[in-house]
Amino acid sequence: MIEHPNSLLLHQCLQAANAGDRQTLLALWADDIIWHVKGTSPWQGEIKGPEDILEYLADLGEVGSTGFNTEVEDVMVSNRRAAALCHSSAERGDRALDTSFLFITTIVDRRIQEVITVPIDPDRVEKFWAE
């Protein structure tokens, strides 16, 4: 792991999301955070504000029978951004998701201002969420 403050902030955010640690997430996020979900999942689009984003993350965990588990594979970092290539897995009924996502964060005043999630294999993600 890169020992840069923004890399550490991104790691803390992903660990807190995996653990469902709402207090830590709220401490790491700006009050006006925006989360952009790319691809064709049911949550595609923009989610604004900490409470709506927490609800989105909770919904992800409730829909998948095992919740979402995300592990960092690689990190890119600068003084304004941190991005991570992450491996995510989940189960939903007889379907399993095993794919990678790119998480791109913009960081302002040591808090995450914006998150963009991009599936590396959008077709695989679409099949997982298909009814």
Residue 77 has pLDDT above 60, yes or no: yes
Cα separation, 58 vs 32, in Å, equals 19
CATH classification of the domain holding 96: 3.10.450.50
Burial of 122 (0-12, 13-18, 19+ CB in 10 A): middle
Domain that holds residue 48: 5-129
What's the pTM?
Answer: 0.87
pLDDT tens column, 8-31: 999 899 888 888 899 999 999 999
User: What is the number of domains present in the chain?
Assistant: 1
CB 14 within 8 A of CB 33: no
